[in-house]
């Protein structure tokens, strides 16, 4: 089959029509049975919605379709096809309009919802604030925050008090991301009182509720929680504008801060000083807020899921502990930037955690023009969902896929004949829109997990409720049923 479309729809000169060749139409894709009028809509809401996708991938394969109120949504999990689609952004595909509308209703803007030239400009701004040099400059602060958490946990164990891992990991991630993105210290680990923390929580909870709701009631009437979220946004906006003013004043007095920005906000302010950049203060505010939304739960949930896996897999926990002892020697946590390069098993444990528990389980996209995806003709404006777990559950690439085996990710430890799995899944997305915070997230995950393995033993907590997967914009563990026990570390000079 083939179809001819106007060339300007796909960004070519208008006189050159493009012939699209394809083997099947969207109607030919397999599809789960839906209900009259609503189609599959009712199966697509709620906190376990992502698990429905996983089950459908198993049943219908790497490309299938859903019907939602007469609209077709295509689901993709095949890695080569998904990489191809992600690479075609921003020109070929845009972010899903439904998600953008919800984010815009909550006044969450910035690079995530921008498209075309606007996206290119904002991506440059965000990258200026999240590059390796800025993260390196922020690293000492990250170490201090982690050290405070270690002291808090040691004290709690000395006094026989329980540790709420889920709460503390979230607070630590918030301290880190607010520290780097807004240059502000809220100390959420030790106190719950900062209004900024309350406002961020309010906004985030609304985002989670609205993206998993089956009906957008807030467009017709507002509940007190919706009004509170709107007030929270205004307050956050005002506070971040104030942080920018204060930081600018400080940077004018200490010009060397421009040469060595200590955090993302300072780096973005420095980038915006270039008259050619065209970056506005509104863009600085929007991207600082967006980074907090993008960086808090993703990192905290990833560490939470990794601890759950390690507590249930003593051999993996022992291998990781041996690596951490070897790298840290006498230190209780990583204090040297160079150490970030020498945790291969920890990196592998992170990849394996994302394979089993992707914290950003899918990406919603929309086709900007008629196109062919794999062998299927996709009409303009069709919604496409990319499952970021890709082929991570496929037995052919990951033998015994339900098992937590970090060894699969390490060349020398991989079973003979097994290929490199890294292109089979895409927990950080792909193409030009690949997550700009991944380096920051990985650095934080390494510092925190290395500190934990060095100082504590993990054991499953039989009294705690099991960790259920909950979609709250990102995919979170409902609890972290892991108990920490003080550990007497070995000298750490052998492996
Ligand atoms: C384990 C941690 C994280 C995971 C799994 C994760 C995952 C993702 C994914 C899947 C995307 C979509 C990429 C795409 O469309 O191809 C994304 C985008 C994004 N993430 Fe992350 N993320 C993490 C941490 C962070 C952190 C720490 C920050 C902030 C500092 C951040 C900021 C962003 C931003 C701004 C975007 C939008 C990029 C764009 O549209 O150009 N993320 N992330």
pLDDT tens per residue across span 344-385: 999 999 999 999 999 999 999 999 999 999 999 999 999 999
Q: Output the pLDDT for position 33.
A: 93
The answer to whether the CB of 418 falls within 8 A of the CB of 408 is yes
Give 45's pLDDT tier (boundaries 50, 70, 90).
Answer: confident
Give 16's pLDDT tier (boundaries 50, 70, 90).
Answer: low
d(CA 81, CA 386): 10
Structure confidence by residue, pLDDT tens digits, 455-481: 999 999 999 999 999 998 899 999 999
Structure confidence by residue, pLDDT tens digits, 193-251: 788 989 998 998 999 899 888 789 999 999 999 999 999 999 999 999 999 999 999 99
Max Cα–Cα distance, the chain, nearest Å: 77
Q: Output the pLDDT for position 115.
A: 95
Probe residue for ligand 1, chosen from 113, 178, 285, 294 as the CB with the greatest number of ligand atoms within 8 Å: 294
Q: Output the pLDDT for position 3.
A: 60
Q: Output the pLDDT for position 256.
A: 80
Give 24's pLDDT tier (boundaries 50, 70, 90).
Answer: very high
Q: Which distant-in-sequence residues (6+ apart) come within 8 Å of 297 by Cβ?
A: 170, 173, 204, 359, 472, 473, 474, 476
Interval between CA 240 and ligand 1 midpoint (Å): 21
d(CA 282, CA 297): 24
Tell me the average pLDDT across 120-147. 96
Q: Is the CB of 142 under 6 A from ligand 1?
A: no
Q: How far is CA 364 from the centre of its chain?
A: 14
Identify which of 88, 90, 85 has the alpha carbon closest to the alpha carbon of residue 114: 90
Q: Output the pLDDT for position 430.
A: 96
pLDDT of 18 > 70? The answer is no
SS3 sequence, 283-315?
HHHHHHHHHHHHHHHHHHHHHHHHHHHHHHCHH
pLDDT of 46 > 90? The answer is no
Collapsing DSSP to helix, strand or coil, 25 comes out as strand
Average pLDDT of the chain to the nearest whole number? 91
Closest atom, ligand 1, to C-alpha of 445: 1
Name the burial class of residue 172, with classes exposed (0-12), middle (13-18) and buried (19+) by CB atoms within 10 angstroms of its CB: buried
Q: Output the pLDDT for position 19.
A: 82
d(CA 303, CA 321): 15
Q: Is the CB of 388 under 6 A from ligand 1?
A: yes
Name the burial class of residue 53, with classes exposed (0-12), middle (13-18) and buried (19+) by CB atoms within 10 angstroms of its CB: buried
Q: Which distant-in-sequence residues (6+ apart) come within 8 Å of 80 by Cβ?
A: none
pLDDT of 166 > 60? The answer is yes
pLDDT of 26 > 80? The answer is yes
Poorest-confidence range of 7-16, 360-369, 381-390, 443-452? 7-16
Q: Which distant-in-sequence residues (6+ apart) come within 8 Å of 400 by Cβ?
A: none
Q: Is the CB of 365 under 6 A from ligand 1?
A: no
Structure confidence by residue, pLDDT tens digits, 244-287: 999 999 998 888 877 899 999 999 999 999 889 999 999 999 99
Interval between CA 124 and ligand 1 midpoint (Å): 15
Structure tokens at 359: 């914290």
Q: Is the CB of 109 under 6 A from ligand 1?
A: no
Identify which of 131, 325, 285 has the alpha carbon closest to the alpha carbon of residue 317: 325
Tell me the average pLDDT across 431-457. 97
Structure tokens at 319: 């291998």
Interval between CA 112 and ligand 1 midpoint (Å): 8
Interval between CA 425 and ligand 1 midpoint (Å): 15
Place of tokens 């600085």: 284
pLDDT of 391 > 90? The answer is yes
DSSP state at residue 436: T
d(CA 255, CA 251): 6
Structure tokens at 481: 């049923």
Q: Which distant-in-sequence residues (6+ apart) come within 8 Å of 131 by Cβ?
A: 267
Q: Output the pLDDT for position 64.
A: 97
Interval between CA 438 and ligand 1 midpoint (Å): 7
Structure confidence by residue, pLDDT tens digits, 329-340: 999 999 999 999
Question: What is the percent of the chain with per-residue pLDDT over 70, rounded to a whole number?
Answer: 95
């Amino acid at each position: 089959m083939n179809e001819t479309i106007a060339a300007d729809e796909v960004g070519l000169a208008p006189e050159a029509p493009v012939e699209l060749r394809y083997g099947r139409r969207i109607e030919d894709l397999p599809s789960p049975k839906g209900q009259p009028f609503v189609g599959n809509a009712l199966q697509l809401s709620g906190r376990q919605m992502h698990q429905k996708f996983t089950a459908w991938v198993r049943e219908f394969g790497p490309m299938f379709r859903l019907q939602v109120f007469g609209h077709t949504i295509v689901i993709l999990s095949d890695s080569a096809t998904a990489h191809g689609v992600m690479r075609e952004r921003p020109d070929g595909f845009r972010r899903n309009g439904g998600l953008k509308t919800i984010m815009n209703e909550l006044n969450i803007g910035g690079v995530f919802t921008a498209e075309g030239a606007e996206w290119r400009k904002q991506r440059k701004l965000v990258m200026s604030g999240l590059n390796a040099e800025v993260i390196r400059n922020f690293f000492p602060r990250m170490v201090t925050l982690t050290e405070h958490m270690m002291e808090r946990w040691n004290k709690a164990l000395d006094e026989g008090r329980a540790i709420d891992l889920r709460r503390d990991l979230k607070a630590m991630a918030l301290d880190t991301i607010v520290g780097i993105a807004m240059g502000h210290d809220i100390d959420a680990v030790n106190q719950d009182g900062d209004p900024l923390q309350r406002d961020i929580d309010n906004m985030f909870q609304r985002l989670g509720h609205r993206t998993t709701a089956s009906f957008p009631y807030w467009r017709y009437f507002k509940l007190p929680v919706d009004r509170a979220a709107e007030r929270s946004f205004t307050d956050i906006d005002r506070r971040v504008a104030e942080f920018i003013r204060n930081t600018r004043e400080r940077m004018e007095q200490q010009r060397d801060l421009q040469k060595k920005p200590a955090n993302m906000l300072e780096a973005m302010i420095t980038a915006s000083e270039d008259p050619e950049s065209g970056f506005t203060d509104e863009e600085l505010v929007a991207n600082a807020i967006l980074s907090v939304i993008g960086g808090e739960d993703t990192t905290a949930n990833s560490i939470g899921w990794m601890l759950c896996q390690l507590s249930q897999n003593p051999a993996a926990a022992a291998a990781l502990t041996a690596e951490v002892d070897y790298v840290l020697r006498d230190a209780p946590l990583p204090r040297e930037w160079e150490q970030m390069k020498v945790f291969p098993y920890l990196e592998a444990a992170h990849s394996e955690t994302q394979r089993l528990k992707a914290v950003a389980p899918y990406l919603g996209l929309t086709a900007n023009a008629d196109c062919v995806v794999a062998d299927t003709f996709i009409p303009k404006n069709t919604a496409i969902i990319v499952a970021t777990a890709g082929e991570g559950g496929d037995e052919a690439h990951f033998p015994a896929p339900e098992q937590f085996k970090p060894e699969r990710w390490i060349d020398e430890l991989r079973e003979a004949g097994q290929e490199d799995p890294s292109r089979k899944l895409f927990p950080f997305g792909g193409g030009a829109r690949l997550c700009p915070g991944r380096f920051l997230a990985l650095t934080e995950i390494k510092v925190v997990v290395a500190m934990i393995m060095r100082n504590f033993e993990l054991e499953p907590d039989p009294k705690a409720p099991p960790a259920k997967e909950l979609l709250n914009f990102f995919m979170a563990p409902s609890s972290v049923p892991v108990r920490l026990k003080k550990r007497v570390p070995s000298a750490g000079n052998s492996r």
